[in-house]
Amino acid sequence: MSSVALETFHAAPLSRLSEDELMFRDTVRQFASEIIGPLVRKMDEEQHFHPSLLPQLFNLGLMGIEIPTEYEGAGGTFFEAILAVEEISAVDPSVGVMVDVQNTLSINALLRRGTEAQKKQYLPKLATEMVGAYALSEAGSGSDAFALETRAERKGDHYLLNGQKLFITNAKEAGLFIVFATVDRGAGYKGITAFLVEKHFPGFSVGKKEDKLGIRASSTCELIFDDCRVPAANVLGEIGKGYQIAIETLNEGRIGIGAQMLGLAQGAWNHAARYAKERKQFGKPIAEFQGVLFQLAEIATEIEATRLMVYNAARLKDAGLDFVKEAAMAKYFASQVAERAASKAVEIYGGYGFVKDYPVEKLYRDAKIGKIYEGTSNMQLQTIGKLLLTQVK
């Protein structure tokens, strides 16, 4: 395979991007390669997000892409946020999920449901210095997201939150948490309410950091609420309507995870293709053997299909059209392709693919989470199936 062929594949969707989107994508790609790339192995081994990266992500505008300019954000689109997650994840999915949770979950929930006072208070900080986190999951509340036990009790001008959250992405770095708690257990899911909780609020603490298989630089921690005092003004949306915020935000977040897995797959393919051109056996590059060439072609086709699905879902969201089925399909398919692409990359590297001196074993570990978080693959299939059946006459 020639270098021209490699570049042609990576640049295939050019006709679907505007000039501004292309410039944005190329800027993020260069940043990811030059700034994030040299830190990837160190961050993975130390399970620590390098502190030098956060200020640079903020300075480049990548932590507030959709925040309007009047709140000091970049004034961009959801699609641009998806492009950023894709390009960063091709280099390191750990950094990709940091940008993803910030933009597709935390900021989107505030933009959609926040009061003007809440937007003025938090959006400028999220655009310039503050990391956001999304706290829904609990030990007994995973796919059954609304079986949560964290409770909130009104006390005058504030609420007291008690309980624990589990597997919260960005928890170590975050300054603002969107926390879901129930104000009335008897009301079931209609008692769930969303709260804006700052890390310095009394009674709030970040607990154990999980030792994970993949995306190890991304902090995943438990949150502990022990009579955590939250001002009543920090209720996000309406009392008892937290389930609506959770559903609509996670629908958008699934496109973000689709973009993360898309980027991971592309990164794995890039590494495998370069190695196949360099590695010689029996007197010629292994890329010239049909067995390897066909594997590269097959994975490239699946990646392109994934890109079309992810981009389509993001475009539908920006256009204000229904995108729930498309988001579920994109997330489901992207996680499948990412795992296959990373696995094939390890195999093409051979013995070198199994050691940490080379990048593909990390991507293989990182890929597994795509089938699990922000809705497991089974939950995506259930969503897809139900929505498809409603269309059958």
DSSP 133: E
- Look up residue 198 and give its two tokens: 């700052």
Kind plus residue range of the DSSP H or E element containing 205: strand 204-209
Residue pair 325/331 in contact by the 8 Å Cβ criterion? no
Give how far the C-alpha of residue 367 lies from the chain's centroid of Cα atoms, to the nearest Å.
12
Q: Is 304 in the active site? A: no
The number of CA neighbours under 13 Å toward the Cβ of 180 is: 30
Burial of residue 355 (number of CB atoms within 10 Å: 0-12, 13-18, 19+) = exposed
Q: Are 264 and 40 in contact (CB under 8 A)?
A: no
- Catalytic option among 86, 173, 222, 374: 374
Residue with tokens 């049909």: 290
Cβ–Cβ under 8 Å, residues 302 and 340:
yes
Strands 131-135 and 174-182: parallel
- Burial of 190 by CB count in 10 Å (0-12 exposed, 13-18 middle, 19+ buried)? middle
Residue 294 vs residues 250, 265, 291: alpha-carbon distances, Å: 36, 16, 6
Helix axes 324-349, 377-390, angle to 10 degrees: 140
Rounded-to-integer distance, Cα 364 and Cα 360, Å:
6
| DSSP, residue by residue, 292-359 | HHHHHHHHHHHHHHHHHHHHHHHHHHHTT---HHHHHHHHHHHHHHHHHHHHHHHHHHGGGGGSTTST
Q: Which residues are catalytic?
A: 374
